[in-house]
Amino acid sequence: MSSPTTLVPPKGVFVPSPTFFHPAASDSKALQAAVDTESQINHSIFLAKAGITGITLLGSTGEAVHLTRTERRDLVSAVRKGLTDAGFPDYPLMAGVLTNGELEETLQWLEDYAEAGAQWGLVLTPGYFGPAVGQDSLVEWYKLVADRSPIPILVYNYPGVTNGVQVLPETYRTLAQHPRIVGCKMSHGNVSHHVHVSLDPAIDHNKFRVYSGFGNQLGPIVQFGAAGVIDGMAAFYPKTVVRLMNLMLSRDVSPETQEEIRRLQFAVSQGEEFVMRYGVIGIKEAVCRVAGFGNLEGGRLPLRGKLPEGAWDKAKGLFLETIEKTEAAL
């Protein structure tokens, strides 16, 4: 059970870390590539040293649905130990819960994560039946999960992988009253929902935090009360996103700071175009090429592989040059 000091996740930048795998051909008899725990730990330490607030393991970017129960538990446990050994005890860790909504299974994931050392569960909205799942049913489901979870949970609304299910602002308002539901991640482009929930006077924003899944929304949503982002691009260009977040939280309205905010937000938005276009495979390739973790041959079907020939060089020219220069200057 989390202590009061860790009940609510901190404001800032979390990274939805990709899960690293050894090259698929390293064991020709294996059905799928093995988890590369060493790279996972080293990448986590790299992020912590870069000023990233916390890490989300085994979310959508982390391909949680491609790992077994034992692999998920062991990965979280290994990262927790690795961070502690590197001088980052109690470092904020979320872990993704990606089920189709079966309650016992959902709680099983949360129990495993609590045992492994995660402080929060990021629980995906059940979406097998799509819009047929009403808002009242979502409220009842999340409350049942939160009542029984050994760690606090956040609502994870990602319509792109849940048949278009949207959690509406009034539903967040209701869920935010539960003492064990401590925030949400909105992985969609409806900035109005981010702002609506972040500004809702019926929500205690000291105990319910709003995060976006996209860094290109960071400036606008944090300006109006959101807690931060759980951002894939920060996995390979962390310093720029952290700097932008810190400036937004400073509330400094001087012309110099506002100009820097605009410059950084433009750089982040450019880089996010790469993430939006190439998804998990693109993030993993960028983490390898830019930050030096993982490889270009690892992965598990159906996402195993790397970007098409020439795509990386094209993407650098289109999207990444601005943020690459900004990162290098920090």
Number of neighbouring beta carbons within 10 Å of residue 24 = 19
Q: How confident is the model at residue 2 (pLDDT cuts 50, 70, 90)?
A: very low
Gap between the Cα atoms of 258 and 240, Å rounded: 15
Closest alpha carbon to 313 in 267, 274, 280, 279? 274
pLDDT at 122: 98
β pairing state of 120-124 and 153-157: parallel
Give 99's pLDDT tier (boundaries 50, 70, 90).
Answer: very high
Give residue 154's region: left, alpha or beta (phi > 0; psi -120 to 50): beta
Please name the residues in contact with 306: beta carbons below 8 A apart, sequence gap of 6 or more: 281, 285, 296, 297
Q: pLDDT of 297-317, one tens digit each?
A: 878 989 888 899 999 999 888
Return all residues near 230 (Cβ < 8 A) that are at least 6 apart.
14, 15, 16, 56, 59, 94, 122, 185, 211, 212, 213
According to DSSP, residue 91 is labeled -
Q: Binning pLDDT at 50, 70 and 90, where does residue 1 land?
A: very low
Q: Is 42 left (phi over 0), alpha (psi -120 to 50) or beta?
A: alpha
Distances (CA, A) of 139 to 43, 159, 165, 177: 36, 17, 13, 11
pLDDT given for residue 102 in this prediction:
95
CA-to-CA dists, residue 105 to 16, 120, 139, 153, 216, angstroms: 22, 17, 18, 15, 34
Q: In this prediction, what percent of the chain has a pLDDT beyond 90?
A: 89
Which residues of the chain form beta strands (DSSP E)?
12-16, 54-57, 93-97, 120-124, 153-157, 181-186, 209-212, 228-230
Q: pLDDT-based confidence at 318, cuts 50/70/90?
A: confident
Q: List pLDDT tens digits, range 123-179.
A: 999 999 998 999 999 999 999 999 999 999 999 999 999 999 999 999 999 999 999
Predicted confidence (pLDDT) per residue in 247-291, tens digit: 999 999 999 999 999 999 999 999 999 999 999 999 999 999 999
For the chain, the structural domain boundaries read 12-329
* pLDDT tens, position by position, 7-65: 899 999 999 999 999 987 666 677 888 999 999 999 999 999 999 999 999 999 999 99
pLDDT number for residue 25: 66
Stretch (H or E) spanning 101: none
In this predicted structure, what is the pLDDT of residue 323? 93
Question: Omega before 150 cis (within 30°)?
Answer: no
Burial readout 53-92 (b: 16 or more C-beta within 10 A, e: otherwise): bbbbbbbbbbbbebbeeebbbbbbbbbbebbeebebeebb
Say yes or no: domain 12-329 is CATH 2.60.40.10: no
Q: How confident is the model at residue 3 (pLDDT cuts 50, 70, 90)?
A: very low
What is the per-residue pLDDT for 272?
94
Distance separating alpha carbons of residues 46 and 53, to the nearest angstrom: 12
Two structure tokens written together for 182: 């401590």
Using 50, 70 and 90 to split pLDDT, how confident is the model at 5? very low
Mean pLDDT of the chain: 94
For the chain, give the number of residues: 330
CA–CA distance, 184 with 25 (Å, rounded to integer): 38
- The confidence score (pLDDT) of residue 305 equals 80
DSSP run (H or E) holding 242: helix 238-250
The pLDDT value recorded for residue 26 is 61
Dump pLDDT digits (tens) for 204-234: 999 999 999 999 999 999 999 999 999 999 9
Amino acid at 173: R
Cβ–Cβ under 8 Å, residues 11 and 280: no
pTM of the predicted model as reported, rounded to 2 decimal places: 0.95
N- to C-terminal Cα distance for the chain? 39
